[in-house]
Chain A
């Protein structure tokens, strides 16, 4: 299939993907750096390029509430947010997942207040990692676009039926023009297909009650299928990624292994910093240092068994977190990775955490090199703190 090479910002690329999926309803409230994404989508609606009911609401709490109502009515539904907007959706995020409504949401990752900061880190989405949504992270605009198209298939799959967050880094991805390949509209819609809701509030022939009071006698049982749906999502993500790979030539797995197979030192990174790390890894490889990268793509559900297999046998592992878990032992990615490695059959490698880039602090190649140097030192027996901060003035 011939694909068009275009120059787009991450926000515009995701807006195109949303347009190509032909959502029935979009609800949104503007917040930097998500705003331009919905601007672009609103332009498609205004120009009749997509037949979507665009609901302009008064807050993100309302944006997510409107999305829940629309999706329960049987509409393919999209929304988008960042940072404080994400935080304001909090209560309703859990509802969307509990009610098994496959809403697709672009989360343009940005730091949380305070102090007020508009730049990228992962505090927003990481704070919502237990809300029951599927979370996919992108390294660049191409991946954000591809993930957005796949998100509809994954979330709406009958075995899954869960909402999906399409995460991409604020400004670094959302506002930077990049060259990417786009699928044409017809092929994209052919791939995504029409939305077939399991239930609809608008079906007056078969009236249903959604979200009833659910107390000590049944609430717990209703959580079982939500837990199971996440486990079923692994195979679904794999299958849909494969299908997308056959269609586009861009192949995705649950995570990406970059020069990882023969690596002795392993970095684990999620988001745009993975791209920076790849360049640094290439430098070190030229100098004979066996370092590789595991780039997390699917963070919820967390593919623990596969990650264990990929990292097992490494001499030392360094996990980078672009958000802090205050009072926790390391950042959220670190705790997941470390927990996965506990079951390592051939001895657990030393594992260290670096919190980096908070509030959009630039993470350059020198900082990644610093981490690799530290991993090398650890592999030679040098002691090191488990939790470290990277790129901050102490």
Chain B
């Protein structure tokens, strides 16, 4: 990405376009990463609701939305999804936090 010069910028660094947080990749902040265990998933969308980074990818083309996996460009590895995943209470979590090897 080429960086802009001062003369090309808005004064005060004000951002005038909305919705551009998506361009800011924060995935490399992680220590732990959620692993998606598809066979345990009940597609309840809890993880999607709770994720602070909109990093849960869903397939919304069908009648009901389906959990597809994790967007690792934005997932910061906070583990909220794994904590909130309902099957986890029965020991069958669909999201398991594992230390990420880099």
Contact = CB atoms under 8 A, between A and B. Distances in A.
B9 A222 contact: yes
B6 to A, nearest CB: 4
A99 interface: yes
Contacts of A221: 4-6, 9
Interface string A192-235: 00000011000000111111101001110110111001000000
Given A218-B3, A221-B6, A212 B13 contact: yes
A100 to B, nearest CB: 4
Contacts of A218: 3-4, 9, 13
A225 B3 contact: no
B4 A210 contact: no
Interface stretch (B14-22, B33-41, B66-74, B76-84): B14-22
Question: Mostly helix, strand, loop or mixed at chain A's interface?
Answer: loop
A98 interface: yes
B14 A161 contact: no
A316 B14 CA distance: 48
Contacts of B63: none
Given A221-B4, A221-B5, A207 B11 contact: no
A198 B11 contact: yes
Nearest to A209: B15
A209 B9 CA distance: 14
Nearest to A223: B6
A100 B12 contact: yes
Interface in A136-190: 161
B18 A207 contact: yes
Contacts of B9: 218, 221-222, 225
A117 B77 CA distance: 53
A209 B14 CA distance: 6
B5 A210 contact: no
Contacts of A225: 6, 9, 11-12
A209 B17 CA distance: 8
Interface of A: 98-100, 161, 198-199, 206-212, 214, 217-219, 221-222, 224-226, 229
Given A222-B12, A225-B11, 8 more contacts: A100-B11, A209-B15, A210-B12, A217-B3, A218-B4, A221-B4, A221-B6, A226-B12
